[in-house]
Amino acid sequence: MFFLALVNLATEKAMAKEMKILAFGDSLTAGYRLDQGDGFAEQLETALREMGREIKVINAGVSGDTTKGGLARLGWALADQPDMVIVELGANDALRGIDPALTKNNLDQILSQLKEKQIKVLLAGMLAPPNLGAQYGEKFNPIYPDLAQKHNVALYPFFLEGVAGDPELNLDDGIHPTKEGIAIIVDRILPYILKVID
């Protein structure tokens, strides 16, 4: 009987569903120009596992992706049936000067679809580059807090907080974080992720 109980316990543990987090974004989550293991998804998974969390972080970052592209591929990205999605999109919209109203509408639809599927969400905010002017920033920057409030989802105000503008934490293009920059992002965003999953 004791042996049978042990077998049942081992089976239950094996069947226990490993939590999955989908890092759904652009080059910032894709690990642009970084070695394998140094990108956002990999470093986040390592950090979570070091905390004793059995969590798989799926890298669904596509370099150059816009909110429109993200909306178009959302269904495919959700095929892995994640328990939580980190939505990190909009940086390329801003870099291309896309109308903030379109960006907001795309993100709105993404969040609506995730809500319908009852998937937990952390919305990662972005800020417009200063060179696009104050008027563009005034329209773009409120997108994320507005949508987080509308959909009642958690908000990480600025994905590149503590990294943006620091040459030592970014690649030579001045846009994409280095391995060290990603480590800072993971460290800062982790408490927000834990609040969503706990």
Active site residues: 27, 173, 176
Distance CA 96, CA 170 (A): 20
Residue at 93: amino acid letter: D
> What SS3 state is found at 60?
strand
Do residues 56 and 20 lie in contact, with contact meaning Cβ atoms separated by under 8 Å? yes
Q: How far is CA 183 from the centre of its chain?
A: 14
User: What contacts 154, CB < 8 A, 6 or more positions away?
Assistant: 121, 122, 123, 148, 192, 195, 196
Contact criterion met (CB below 8 Å) for 108 and 184: no
